[in-house]
Chains A and B, each alone.
Chain A
Amino acid sequence: MIEFKMPSLGADMDEGKLLEWKVKPGDKVKRGDLVAVVETPKAAVDIEIWQDGVVQELITKPGETIPVGAVMARLAAAGEAPAAAPAPAPAPAPARHPVSPAARKHARELGVDVEKLPGSGPHGAVTVEDVERAAKAAPPKKEAAPPSDKTLAMRKAIAAAMSRSKREIPHYYLSQTVPMQRAQDWLTTYNEKRPVTERLLMGALQLKAVALALKGFPDLNGFWKDDAFQPAQGIHIGVAISLRQGGLIAPAIHDVAELGLDELMKALADLVRRARAGSLRSSEMSDPTITVTNLGDQGVDEVFAIIFPPQVAIVGFGRVAPRPWAEDGMIGAVPAVVASLAGDHRASDGHRGARFLAAVAALLQEPENL
């Protein structure tokens, strides 16, 4: 028998609210299938299952909030005989307010609170049309609206994680100015003949350089748990993405070092789109082994980031801008970026962090090899 539990989708999550089941008793599921949608303080997340089996019993009812680790459902493992008398499917929860996933996404985009909407779909489900009707009926916003419950929950989650980080993690900070002429020239040539749908952003090159550099610095890629460093199995980079309604989220792109630049760019674009539309997967929320934050578009020179626990490092990039640079005894202006690292001093030392930043800088000088 498999117990399917409420997963932890980050250090800032203590509990989750089940929004809907995507499976019912009797359904066969396989590793990687989406089985439920759970609301966390930061987003509604599609929850994957990591074992093959047959759903026996759905314990948690939609609308219920349960702690991380609580059993949500029971499944018969592949090859295991189903229980003699399968438990009956739970009665529909009276408190449930059914909302189609498309309507939920659309509501988020339009700023409509679906929980308060009457539904015209089957069993009173809120549909996309209901959301659009509500959005049109709502008076135009001229004054700044007070923060919604979701915004407050998001701030609370960020506050909890960042306070824990600053309380528990002895951060050290390092930065290095990295000349970007070669990377910029290479990118210009690469994008020159490509349609807009196939162009790369500098952010993709920076992510790949970080991932490749991490191969030589496993002490920066992993977690501090139970008073010890636990290296991660893969290099799954959490990408800090700001959300239009406020706050941020840092879901993972998996195995970044193994992706080609085109694949990585597609994965990045897809991740940003889904993060902002509210359709992330549980593995993307739970798997980051390090985070990269890029605030260059906002014009800052340098980022002094805070580590997202239990990770042990975060890399920041500022804007690529012309800066004075000395080479062969001559001073000129070259495009450059300040790359920074915040490291957990329990897991690594500044010496290692400095060598890591030097490795990132070196990789960005050979963009053709990324």
Chain B
Amino acid sequence: MDAEEIGKVVLAELKRIAPELEDVAPAKPLRDQVDLDSMDWLNFLVALNERLKIEIPEADYRKLGTLEQIVDYLSAKAR
């Protein structure tokens, strides 16, 4: 799966959790754009794990601040 496909999965799962979401600026902090609480965030990661079969350790959460960072992180892990 390439970065573009991963990006589509990430956005789809994000919109499933926050259906009101319309556009996301890829380089801006995600939590400034979407109302995500801890449970939403955990559910988002669980969904990505199920769809992409990629495990995200808790220690890596801080690397996942923006949509761009999330896609880059997952793309690197998918290789």
Contact = CB atoms under 8 A, between A and B. Distances in A.
Interface of A: 109-111, 188, 191-192, 195-197, 199, 201-203, 242, 244, 268-269, 272-273, 297-298
A111 to B, nearest CB: 7
A273 B43 contact: yes
Contact of A196 (B37, B38, B39, B42): B42
Interface stretch (B2-10, B52-60, B64-72): B52-60
Nearest to B19: A109
B19 A196 contact: no
B47 to A, nearest CB: 10
Contacts of B20: 244
- Residue among A109, A202, A272 with most chain B CB within 10 A: A272
B19 A192 contact: no
B59 A196 contact: no
A191 B59 CA distance: 9
Contacts of A297: 36-38
B18 A196 contact: no
- Most B-side CB within 10 Å, residue of A110, A111, A269, A297: A297
A195 B18 contact: no
Contacts of B55: 195-196
Given A244-B35, A298-B37, 17 more contacts: A109-B19, A188-B59, A192-B57, A195-B55, A196-B46, A197-B46, A199-B42, A199-B58, A201-B39, A202-B38, A203-B38, A203-B39, A244-B19, A269-B39, A272-B39, A273-B43, A297-B37
Interface residues of B, number: 18
B33 interface: no
Interface of B: 18-20, 35-39, 42-43, 45-46, 49, 55-59
A197 B58 contact: no
A195 B49 contact: yes
A268 B45 CA distance: 17
Contacts of B42: 196, 199, 201, 269
A262 to B, nearest CB: 14
A242 B20 CA distance: 14
A269 to B, nearest CB: 7
Nearest to B54: A196
Return the 9 tightest CB-CB contacts between A and B, nearest first.
A297-B37, A191-B58, A196-B45, A201-B38, A196-B49, A272-B39, A196-B46, A297-B38, A197-B46
A111 B22 CA distance: 14
A109 B58 CA distance: 29
B60 to A, nearest CB: 11
A192 B61 CA distance: 12
Contacts of A191: 58
A81 B75 CA distance: 67
A50 B49 CA distance: 40
Contacts of A199: 42, 58
Nearest to B57: A192
B65 to A, nearest CB: 15
Contacts of A203: 38-39
Nearest to B35: A244
Nearest to A297: B37
Nearest to A271: B39
Contacts of B49: 195-197
Contacts of A269: 39, 42-43
Contacts of B58: 188, 191-192, 199
A277 to B, nearest CB: 11
B30 to A, nearest CB: 13
Contact of B59 (A192, A197, A298): A192
6 contacts: A188-B59, A192-B58, A197-B46, A242-B37, A297-B38, A298-B37
Nearest to B50: A197
B39 A110 contact: no
A353 B59 CA distance: 37
A192 B59 CA distance: 7
